[in-house]
Chain A
Amino acid sequence: MAELFYSHAIRQALEEEMARDERVILMGEDIAGYGGAFKLTAGMADKYGADRVRNTPISEGGFVGVAVGAALTGLRPVVEIMFMDFLTLAMDQLANHAAKLRYQFGEQARVPMVLRTPAGAGRGYGPTHSQSLEKWLVATPGLIVVAPSTAEDAKGLLKSAIRCDDPVVFIESKILYGRRGEVPEGDYTVPLGEAKVVRHGEDVTIVAYSRMTEEALKAAEALAKYDIAAEVIDLRTLAPMDTDTVAASVEKTGRVVVAEEGHMTGGIAAEVVARIVESCFDYLQAPPTRIAAMDIPVPASPVLERAATPDWEDIGRAAAELVQKY
């Protein structure tokens, strides 16, 4: 096992898949010479050429559509959207085209494209550079949505996403880019659609994904000091959602906190809670709790940003309350 930054693990996945399959191309704003806003693809244009590492104009709606058309006709484009907030500009191509082509045109149509994008707050970038919009995506049948929390999963899931014949939105975390983690040597993949129990416990289940998994693990560590054993589940794939792994844990603990960085209303946590209530209501000893961002734009000031978005303390407090009250 080598220790790698989350960002370098993503880059390794891109490099390995480009070397493995000539049909894999990269597209996005400033990804060639500049290496992308977060420098993940720096130097790749020199190695693979400007045809395969393609700078685009600032035209998200346009180049996501170009990727859809390229995917439909034999290429395997991996598109970078500089900030997840900019995905709104490409929603027609994602929701009306990429997600529907196979359903409406049948087996002749395949859209093997990956849309990579950094999401989330924590850097003080303000209302249009800090959002977590995954709820928009999971509400669209026909998209696979992935949001890894570790370097190992980031690499393995991205490789699976690139090899997959469906449109995948691959949500990266700006904060996690700088985290290191163990990554297996050689070629490996992590299966899409499978959640992972990342810490075992009997008292309460904490469901999270992406950066909130890290916060959930911190919360679990703190809870342990009070003799509360929290089980932490990393969803890893948001659509299709692995309800079974979540339900199995809740059946054991009877208590659940679901944490996300997106807004509370209509969010991922709401979906997880609905599924828990439907599938294991009889096992619940306490009302399921959601921890999410406030229903306001993400403010820029670090003080305000922290106030608007959840962290390990919010998760830990909610979990402790469930155990103490019920």
Chain B
Amino acid sequence: MNYDRSELLKHYRTMVLIRSFEEALDGLFGQGVITGTSHFCMGQEASAMGSIAGLRPDDLVTSNHRGHGHFLAKGADSRRVMAELFGKATGYSGGRGGSQHMADFSIGFLGSNGITGGMTPIATGAALSQKLLHTGKVVLCFFGDGASGQGTFHEAVNMGTTWELPILYLCENNQYAMSTPTRQAFKQPSVAERAKGYGLTTSVVDGNDYFAVRKAVHDAAERSRVGEGAFLIEAMTYRLCGHSKSDACEYRPEEEEQAWAARDPLLLMAERLKQEGLATETDLEQARAEAYQEIEAAVQFARESPEPDPQTVADNLLVTF
């Protein structure tokens, strides 16, 4: 695969942006500046950015409850994502959605959602539209290992593959559904192995390796686009934080956490870029500085944005009435 250096650097910068976005959020929650909940994706930035790098810009993406990274990687405006976390009128959902419910159809992001597994059939329906309307686009559906226990996941995957739809089911297997380890919930912990039973083309990749994820998604997307049907990619990864902001994360072995921390996707990508002469330390330093600045600006934008008008609380429930 030939890579465009400036694009790689941009993607590294976005991965740092995703990390620092959530680090900033963590601080803001701690200070009581923002309320509600958030599910951080720290440690999963490569599966988010690598996946989207493997797609074409106008391909479609659906996300889940752990969706900040997916949205930012797809090209969301970090200021409006932050404003949504602040519950402000300028947020992507005008303060109605919060952390788990944001969308921007203009960039092909069909939405994040708080029902585990809830978006898998919706993504499949979006893929049905692409097929029947001959758009040439594919749909990438992010979900986690936990969602693979839901009936909707199995039903959706079955339809996606039986109907030969242009869809990629992208499992970010971070090995814990909240506190429950995969091996405790499933006799067969591999999502890819289970999915094979539906006749799906599956693969397993190192989810912390941007390049591995990107290649797997790219290859599957281009095959799916020309009519080879549904694919499932299982990206093995790990949360470098708790399930949600209220989770102290006391259920995972320390050695396991340390081993995965050593494989932090930001470190892995930086090393690879330097080793292969695709970026210098100065380039990377500059990318990080830009990302931090962007987050500072996003926080400032969110702070200064107006609150939503309570008069509008019932607006936009229906188109017809």
Contacts and interface: CB of A to CB of B under 8 A. Distances in A.
Contacts of A240: 321
A142 interface: yes
Interface residues of A, number: 47
Given A56-B159, A101-B111, A65 B152 contact: yes
Nearest to B318: A166
Contacts of A103: 96, 316-317
Interface of A: 25, 51-52, 54, 56-57, 59, 61-75, 77, 92-93, 96-97, 100-110, 141-142, 144, 164-166, 192-193, 240
Interface residues of B, number: 45
A126 B174 CA distance: 45
Interface of B: 60, 62, 93-94, 96-97, 101-106, 110-111, 113, 115, 118, 120-130, 132-133, 151-152, 154-156, 158-159, 162-163, 316-321
Contact of B103 (A52, A92, A109): A109
A24 B30 CA distance: 50
B71 to A, nearest CB: 12
Contacts of A164: 319-320
Contacts of B125: 65-73, 77
Given A62-B156, A110-B319, A192-B320, A25 B124 contact: no
B110 A73 contact: yes
B222 to A, nearest CB: 21
Contacts of A64: 121
A132 to B, nearest CB: 23
Contacts of A107: 316
Contacts of B318: 102, 142, 144, 166
A57 B155 contact: yes
Given A105-B111, A165-B319, A59 B130 contact: no
23 contacts: A54-B163, A61-B121, A62-B124, A65-B118, A65-B125, A69-B123, A70-B128, A72-B110, A73-B60, A73-B129, A73-B130, A74-B133, A75-B128, A77-B125, A92-B115, A93-B121, A97-B113, A103-B96, A105-B97, A105-B103, A105-B105, A109-B105, A166-B318
A193 B106 CA distance: 32
Contact of B115 (A63, A67, A97): A97
Contacts of B102: 105
A193 B320 CA distance: 10
A60 to B, nearest CB: 8
B85 to A, nearest CB: 14
